[in-house]
Structure 1
Amino acid sequence: MQYGDKTTFSGSLKIQKRVINALLMREIITRYGRNNIGFLWLFMEPLLFTLMISVMWKFIKADQYSTLNIIAFLITGYPIAMMWRNASRRTIGAISGNLSLLYHRNIRVLDTIFARVLLEISGATIAQIIIMTFFIIIGWIDVPHDIFYMLLAWLLMALFATGLGFIICSIAFYVDAFGKIWGTLSFIMLPLSGAFFFVHSLPSYVQKYALWIPMISGTEMFRHGYFGDSVTTYENISFLIICDLVMLLIGLIMVKNFSKGIEPR
């Protein structure tokens, strides 16, 4: 079998891998260029932003208002929220920015959207690993209680970001105005994602409504993995998995439907 043979499943996977790799490299070069630190900005942007906020909270002595390590609280909530927010925002320009590439028979609309989502998830993941490792080394935070549980939470939220990205891109394709206001809407949703609070700290009559927000389950799960039983969390893993699968299915159907009317130019 030749490398580009599409008659077998493995051949198709090889082609798909090459397509995604090519789109990722194109996105990196287009967005960050070839000069200076280039692709390093992929994770330097979220890394520096999180580092700046963490240092600010550290030196205003926010720890005095809580027995919980406020830096650990911040970096186990804010970066994971920025991942799904940035991934969904970047999908909006995926079609117009790669329209000419659709002349290639192996490139589909879905590939261009997925490449952007994957790029944002990868950048957020690398930034999260670096910032946590750095703070552990300098003694600002402790070693996580259960790394595997944190990885599982991050993976589930990455799936959430992917499904959300597909849906947002599809809606923005049909309603151009939506693409312009999603940045504001997603910013408003940020405080509702659980990035800045524990569900346990909310009034009991609010908690049952908060748990219907899937991002909160992901954040609570991630923090449970870090803090362990020293904090009380209310993550609903089954609910989050169902939300991820439903959003992925809806997003794929929506992308498939609007892709039929797109022609390269």
Structure 2
Amino acid sequence: MKSSFSQSLKIQLRVIGALLLREVLTRYGRHNLGFLWLFLEPLLFTIGIIILWSYAKLHSGSISIIAFAITGYSYVLMWRNIGGRLAGAVEPNLSLMYHRNVRIIDVYWSRILLEIAGITISFILLMTSFIVLGLIAPPDNIFLMLCAWLLLALFTVGLGFLVGVLSEISEVFDRIWHTFTYLFLPFSGAFFFVDTLPTKLQTYALYVPPIHAIEMLRHGYYGHLIQTHEEPVYLFMVSITMLLLGLLGVSWLNKKVIPS
């Protein structure tokens, strides 16, 4: 029994690895910068936001606008990109479903891992580069930042699965999702601290699960310089619920999708 499980796991990991490599080659190609775009793309997006916000002087006091922009936009890229990549991900890979070891969940995992890897690498490179250059101070609590990033990743995995399943069920949802990601940006917590909101609005803002991730991430970076309002247990419970619902949806989708 143990040997059978171990063999199945190895096969599954090889399938996801092959799909991951295929995804990299399909998206970035073999020439020019190729694989480097995996983390250069989010890197350049974040640098652009830093320049824009710094020029507009959207900061006050001892709060570093550079660190604020890095944490905020990297956080946005995480939940927005993964949902976007999984929306409509089945149709381009239908021909692969003829292989008995390839399932929808493998396609989803390959895209999720690719996005998380690229955004995480760009986030680490940005933080490290600006710290070395002396433009921002080192984080106050790296462990807290790591926990926040892992919780954010868990949330985006659950969100990605749900978006992927719902986009296959309804073409209308697929179109609405991309619009929603832009409309949601002002309310996502990327561009403000919850503590700066009126007390009544703070209560409503904290019902939004990913806000707890960005609050926790910035708490880890700024430490005592800011007041944050994160509830990691709430974020964890919501993320696990979404993940379970997403996995149930993928299981149902496997029975409905016919390879072409």
For normalisation by structure 1, the TM-score amounts to 0.94
Inter-partner Cα distance in structure 2 for 1:258 and 1:25: 24
C-alpha contact 1:6 1:12 (8 A) present in aligned 2: no
List, as ranges, runs of 4+ consecutive aligned residues in structure 1 with deviation greater than 3 Å.
59-63
**Residue by residue, what CA displacement relative to the aligned partner does 1:154-175 show, whole Å, maximum 9, x if unpaired?**
1111111111011111111111
Q: Indicate the percent of aligned positions where both proteins have the same amino acid.
A: 51
Which runs of 5 or more residues in structure 1 are unaligned?
none
Aligned residue for 2:235?
Answer: 240
**How far has the Cα of 1:13 moved from its partner?**
1.7
C-alpha contact 2:88 2:168 (8 A) present in aligned 1: no
Aligned residue for 1:9?
Answer: 5
Aligned residue for 2:173?
Answer: 178
**How far has the Cα of 1:7 moved from its partner?**
4.8
Q: Is 2:24 the partner of 1:28? A: yes
Q: Is 2:95 the partner of 1:100? A: yes
Secondary structure of 1:106's aligned partner:
coil
For normalisation by structure 2, the TM-score amounts to 0.96
Inter-partner Cα distance in structure 2 for 1:223 and 1:21: 33
Aligned residue for 1:133?
Answer: 128
| RMSD over aligned Cα atoms | 1.5
**Residue by residue, what CA displacement relative to the aligned partner does 1:12-34 show, whole Å, maximum 9, x if unpaired?**
22111111110110001011111
**Residue by residue, what CA displacement relative to the aligned partner does 1:84-129 show, whole Å, maximum 9, x if unpaired?**
1000000013101111111111111111012111111111101101
Aligned residue for 2:197?
Answer: 202
Output the amino acid matched with 1:9: F
Aligned counterpart for 1:261 among listed residues 237, 256, 259: 256
Output the amino acid matched with 2:17: N
Secondary structure of 1:258's aligned partner:
helix
**How far has the Cα of 1:55 moved from its partner?**
2.3
Aligned counterpart for 2:158 among listed residues 148, 154, 163: 163
Inter-partner Cα distance in structure 2 for 1:214 and 1:17: 30
Query: Are the structure 2 counterparts of residues 60 and 213 from structure 1 closer, same or farther at C-alpha, using a change threshold of 3 Å?
Result: closer
Output the amino acid matched with 1:10: S
Inter-partner Cα distance in structure 2 for 1:37 and 1:13: 33
Aligned residue for 2:118?
Answer: 123
Query: Are the structure 2 counterparts of residues 62 and 190 from structure 1 closer, same or farther at C-alpha, using a change threshold of 3 Å?
Result: closer
**How far has the Cα of 1:73 moved from its partner?**
1.2
